[in-house]
Amino acid sequence: MKREAMLAAACGAADVVVIGGGATGAGIAWEAASRGLRAVLLEARDFGAGTSSRSTKLIHGGVRYLAQGRLGLVREALHERALLRHNAPTLVRALRFVVPVASLLERVKFRGGLAAYDLLAGHSDFPRSAWLSRREMAAAVPGLRAEEFAGAVSFHDGQFDDTALLFAVLRAAADLGATCVNYAEVTALLKRADGRVCGVAYLDCESGQTHEVQAPCVINAAGPAVGAVLALDGGDAGASVQLSRGSHVVVGAGFLGGDTAVLMPRVDDGRVMFAIPWLGHTLLGTTDLAQDAFEAEPTPRAAEIDAILATAARYLARAPGRADITAMFCGLRPLAGTGGAPTAQVSREHALTRAASGLVTITGGKWTTFRRMAGATLDFALAASPLAAGPSRTADCPLTSPPMATAGPHLPGLACTEAACRAAVRETMARRTEDMLARRCRALFTDARAALAAAPRVAAIVGEELGRSAEEVTQDLAAFRRLAARYIVDPVVDPGPAADT
């Protein structure tokens, strides 16, 4: 994927314009291209810079949603889990979880619930749930406070690197003819005399120039920012999305001491929390709290960090403290709804709306179900459009990621090589130091201080690849340093709302 070529193609006429390059938008562009439509996807920042890089990294049915009785959602997500495991075997792996239980009652409850989860999964590549004695549980997760529990129920779900899958989807879309441009912010909707949307105007954030794409079908997949796009249409910004913030903290791998994750069912607010091995670290989270207004760069609050650490302390023999946190991050769930209920109880199902102008908006959903959501969105959009499209082909389409270049010098302190950094610029449209360190290699999300240390070299390579001046490289590096400060827990203060980066 070359940005210059993509930008050149993102003008004139298309069939479908997709606003937003997260999981939802990328899935829709892929689905549209698979049906033979000319799709243009426009992303205001870098691909995945919003919620889609900040997930818990699970391709799952959602054990929690099963407890809420949302059987349809769980069944659908388990079906997509199986498809993704089959179509993207290098990107989605089976991860074992244990649910530690303290009493016979808990054992019966979780064993029964997870047996139902197995049943809903049907025939599946994922091993079935099982009872583990205390000894077996301690062997699977040496870091657990084993003496506190009678044993555990184990089950399996899918784990992925969200941005790696996102780039695989974008590549699959591009291979089928889709045009995908990052740093391309939609600033206006083009309308016919009768008020119908017939395209968009967008700002190329690099050149400062505005371009237009005409299309009979325009889809708002801007995630937590759908309201701002609805406002471009003159709509009620708050009508169809309810924001919920979810934070994670990252600590060393030694806190778990193995390759098995823990589902912690005893959280003060009645939810569950995870401790998950991820890229040589342990991911702890998440929270689920109502968020009033959209923020481009949300940051975990002090109270969220304390709550995550307090829950972890109940389960882990060595309780992680603030000083152990190597990175933290926060994402906003764009839930379909209008507020009222606690966000943890709001359905994770997606919702589709069509404005009087014809603008289609999608809210809600999960990473796991992005492909299914994309199909439903296109069906909905095409039902009111003159476009004719072929059948969907995404269910049978493999998703792959080229192996990261491992030869040559490494970026200082990171497992990632300089060659991989150059490849990220040349092949996946990385334009900034942030793009490389946050989403191509995940250093900002696993060890923000290590990312900061490597940043000068990354900025120099990105600058070299893009023919940038020394001043531009310095500005890019300074922007990354400001951003990285928001992923570091020390000093212990609540950073409050972010200024847009």
Whose Cβ is closer to ligand FAD: residue 344's or residue 395's? 344
From the list 298, 331, 358, 463, which residue makes contact with ligand FAD (rule: CB under 6 A)?
331
The answer to whether residue 120 forms part of the interface with ligand FAD (CB under 6 A) is no
The answer to whether residue 57 forms part of the interface with ligand FAD (CB under 6 A) is yes
The answer to whether residue 298 forms part of the interface with ligand FAD (CB under 6 A) is no
Q: Strand 241-252 to strand 327-336: parallel, antiparallel, or no bridges (unpaired)?
A: antiparallel
The answer to whether residue 309 forms part of the interface with ligand FAD (CB under 6 A) is no
From the list 242, 286, 357, 361, which residue makes contact with ligand FAD (rule: CB under 6 A)?
286
**Which string of DSSP letters, residue by residue, matches 371-410?**
HHHHHHHHHHHHHTSS-------GGG-----PPPP-SSPB
CA–CA separation, 476 vs 322, rounded Å? Answer: 29
CA–CA separation, 290 vs 344, rounded Å? Answer: 9
CB contact at 8 A, 5 and 179: no
What 3-state class would DSSP assign to 234? coil
CA–CA separation, 499 vs 501, rounded Å? Answer: 6
Q: Which stretch binds ligand FAD (CB under 6 A): 2-10, 63-71, 190-198, 328-336?
A: 328-336
CB contact at 8 A, 34 and 391: no
HEC assignment per residue over 421-439: HHHHHHHHCCCCHHHHHHH
- State the minimum distance, in angstroms, from the CB of residue 95 to ligand FAD: 11
Whose Cβ is closer to ligand FAD: residue 83's or residue 414's? 83
With vertex at residue 488, the alpha carbon angle to CA 268 and CA 418, rounded to the nearest 5 degrees, is: 130
- The site that binds ligand FAD (CB under 6 A) totals a number of residues, namely 39
Of 228, 249, 250, which Cα lies nearest the Cα of 294? 228
The answer to whether residue 261 forms part of the interface with ligand FAD (CB under 6 A) is no
The answer to whether residue 49 forms part of the interface with ligand FAD (CB under 6 A) is yes
**Which string of DSSP letters, residue by residue, matches 262-295?**
EEE---TTS--EEEEEETTEEEEE---EE-SS--
Residue 353-392 contact track with ligand FAD, rule CB under 6 A, x = bound: ------------xxxx------------------------
Q: Which stretch binds ligand FAD (CB under 6 A): 234-242, 329-337, 401-409, 413-421?
A: 329-337
From the list 14, 33, 40, 44, which residue makes contact with ligand FAD (rule: CB under 6 A)?
44
Whose Cβ is closer to ligand FAD: residue 209's or residue 406's? 209
Footprint of ligand FAD (CB under 6 A): 19-25, 42-45, 49-52, 54-58, 185-186, 221-225, 228-229, 246, 286, 331-334, 365-368
